[in-house]
Amino acid sequence: MHTPRAVLKNVFGYDSFRRGQEEIINEMLSGRDVLGVMPTGAGKSVCYQIPAIMSGGVSIVISPLISLMKDQVDALRSSGINAAAINSAMDWDDVRSVLWSARAGKTPLLYIAPERLDGEGFREFLSSLNVNIVVVDEAHCVSQWGHDFRPSYLAIAPAIGSLSRRPAVAAFTATATEEVKADIIRQLAMDSPFVLTTGFDRENLFFQVEHPDDKMSFLLDYTQKFPDMPGIVYCSTRKKTESVCRELVACGIKAVRYHAGLDDAEKLKNQEDFIYDRATVMVATNAFGMGIDKSNVRYVIHYNMPGSIENYYQEAGRAGRDGSPADCILLYGAEDKSTITYLIMQGEDKSTRETSFRKMRQMLDYCHTSGCLRRRILNYFGEPFQRGECGECGNCRSVTERRDITIEAQKIMSCVYRAAEKTGGKKYGPHVIADILRGHCSNASRKEQVTRFGLDAISTWGIMKDTAARDIAYIINFLAAEGYLVSDEFGALSFTERSFPFLKNKTRLLMRRHESGQKPKHERVPDKTDAKRGFFSGGVIDTLLKTVSGKKRAVFSGELFEALRKLRWEFAASEGVPPYVVFSDKTLQAMCDALPSDEYEMLSVPGVGRVKFEKYGHKFMEAIREWRER
Ligand code: ADP
Ligand code: ZN
């Protein structure tokens, strides 16, 4: 195993590097410090594991959570690499044997929590090792500017400084603004590091926003169509989490719940059931997810709109870490806005409220745009989207369902303008504007306001009599999302620099139709020839694959996939590791596609390395053979 590529193939079973990996590995092997900023699922671990395996000495990996360490160590061991972790849950005898093995040079990767470095004894022990590389995982934890600051990360630089020979330092994170990047370099005392930032785009994720009348039936429909696919459903409150989980369970879905109000034992149990594929759906508040490395989450459905795009992308990003297609669906309802407004007013003081409202508005815009959702997200993070539109998200794919709303938009915008004109520049929220347009006030206080200011006498009074208030509100939200109107922190509307040109030029405006009661598009219609092998058509994931590859492919279902999944589960259970540590969904799927029948073919399947082949290869080939003969 003399080259990084050979290690990639033999240990990890992959043929080629992903974006950025090879560059980082080569820089690390040359002894240079490295900062890698790559999105979740991009493959950061391989970037430091390969140099660690090749470097000969010990690499210390500092990781913030026991669960993350355990996952990594399990995965490396299952590929034949003798990695180890030291954590606070271990007794002294175990710690000692790990330390001895490291000192004897038998442990290429040693994972520790940052708190370890506080102890004098441990630092002394470190100096007795041949430490070649120190890796700092989740490096944003070192920055006070970051959202997960961990004071013990500040002990890393002094600990490195106290070693007799300075090792190369490599830091990795998925989230870093320029400020945080500079902070990481400074706090870790990195020495003119090679900095690599790959984009934020996660190509395998499918984004969609739905406005269902009945969120629960949408969710049931979806989960019942994909009953064996692991997924996360995020809710905004504990109460909602409870009720959604209860309903799913009542309908036969293997769902578990997670929120901060549960006792630790239940949280741990539910989390493990989900990670080990004993439960299929995790219904949770945002308390769930940090440090969860489960790579085969096939969808993340937001039952409620989160408070900001940062939060949304972080939570949705827990889908598809293995690089296989996964759905990120947001179910929007008008009540979501009130919930968040309430949470902000209750939980925050004046100084942060304005920012929170701004973030909420950007999130609302995401829910109401007809434009490309992927581009929205990337632009939000300051990344231009080269392709213009992705062509694959829910909005890009629904071009045919767009409706011309030019006339309605003109009426609404004129109304906003006239109302302000009438009352000396005063601004009004969407409800008052809708009432004026409909020529009818839906409650007494608004009626009072409207008559007092003479708004029932302006030229736009009653010009949209026949349109439902809800539809008007929808178009207003759309106009705000597309920048034709802007609303302040109280929701009051005013013009932007796009407003007058629009009215003047009568630009044609198309809006994606979110009809009430809209049926989800992913009807699962297995067809006869494909059923056996595992194809089904029409699913969101399936359609995505078709769009991407231009041809039909098997997608995580069908007899063979299930048989392999079962076998994987048996291996995982007997080894006490999560199933995705044995093989990822993507690898199982590749087996379904390739139907390997000998060693050479099996080793060509991405994710099957030498050691895994020895351990599992024959059993999996046997299962494939049995299925073929059936
Ligand atoms: P991150 O830490 O960046 O979130 P991981 O290191 O967990 O991502 O990698 C995500 C998944 O991608 C893992 O299943 C990993 O085995 C896989 N992977 C990493 N590098 C490659 C590669 N070069 N080819 C194919 N799959 C890869
Ligand atoms: Zn798109």
Q: Is 121 exposed, middle or buried, given 0-12, 13-18 or 19+ CB atoms closer than 10 A?
A: exposed
> What mean pLDDT, rounded, does the chain reach?
86
Longest dimension (CA), the chain: 88
Give the mean model confidence (pLDDT) for residues 66-93: 89
Please tell me the distance between residue 322's alpha carbon and the centre of ligand 1 in angstroms: 6
Q: Is 65 exposed, middle or buried (0-12, 13-18, 19+ CB in 10 A)?
A: middle
| Residue from 146, 141, 135 nearest 177 by CA | 146
**Helices within 41-145 (DSSP H only):** 44-55, 66-78, 92-103, 120-127
Same fold, 4-197 and 205-356+370-393: yes
Does ligand 1 have an atom closer than 6 angstroms to the CB of 294?
no
> Is the dihedral angle over the CA atoms 54, 57, 58, 59 positive or is it negative?
negative
Question: Which has the closest alpha carbon to 129: 175, 169, 160?
Answer: 160
User: 449: pLDDT confidence band, cut at 50, 70 and 90?
Assistant: confident
As beta bridge partners, residue 210 has: 331
The yes-or-no verdict on residue 400 having pLDDT over 80 is no
Res. 399 pLDDT band, cuts 50 70 90: low
Residue 537 has pLDDT above 70, yes or no: no
The CATH classification number of 4-197 equals: 3.40.50.300
pLDDT at position 542 is 46
Which atom in ligand 1 lies closest to the alpha carbon of residue 584? 14
User: Has residue 397 got a pLDDT over 70?
Assistant: yes
* Domains of the chain by residue range: 4-197, 205-356+370-393, 402-512, 558-628
More confident site: 60 or 585: 60
pLDDT in tens, 133-153: 999 998 988 987 666 788 889
Using the predicted structure, report yes or no on whether residue 585 has a pLDDT greater than 90: no
pLDDT tens for each residue of 485-506: 998 877 899 999 889 888 888 7
- Name the closest ligand to CA 396: 2
Q: Taking the mean position of all CA atoms in its chain, how far away is CA 39? A: 9
Is ligand 1 within 6 A of the CB of residue 17?
A: yes
Q: Looking at residues 146-163, what average pLDDT do you find?
A: 86
What confidence category does residue 60 fall into, taking pLDDT thresholds of 50, 70 and 90? very high
Task: Tell me the percentage of the chain whose pLDDT exceeds 90.
Answer: 51
- Multiple choice CATH, 402-512, 3.20.20.150, 3.40.47.10, 1.10.150.80, 1.10.10.10: 1.10.10.10
Residue 14 pLDDT exceeds 60? yes
Counting every residue written for the chain, the total comes to: 630
Nearest CA-CA partner of 296 in 44, 603, 587, 606? 587
Report the CATH number of the 205-356+370-393 domain: 3.40.50.300
Element (H, E) at 300: strand 299-302
pLDDT digits (tens, 9 = 90+) for 451-469: 988 999 999 999 999 998 8
pLDDT band at residue 413 using 50, 70 and 90 as cut-offs: very high
Query: What kind of fold does domain 558-628 have according to CATH?
Result: DNA polymerase; domain 1 (1.10.150)
Q: Within a 10 A sphere around the Cβ of 629, how many other Cβ atoms?
A: 6
Q: Answer whether 375 contacts ligand 1 (Cβ < 6 A).
A: no
- CB of 146 within 6 A of ligand 1: the answer is no
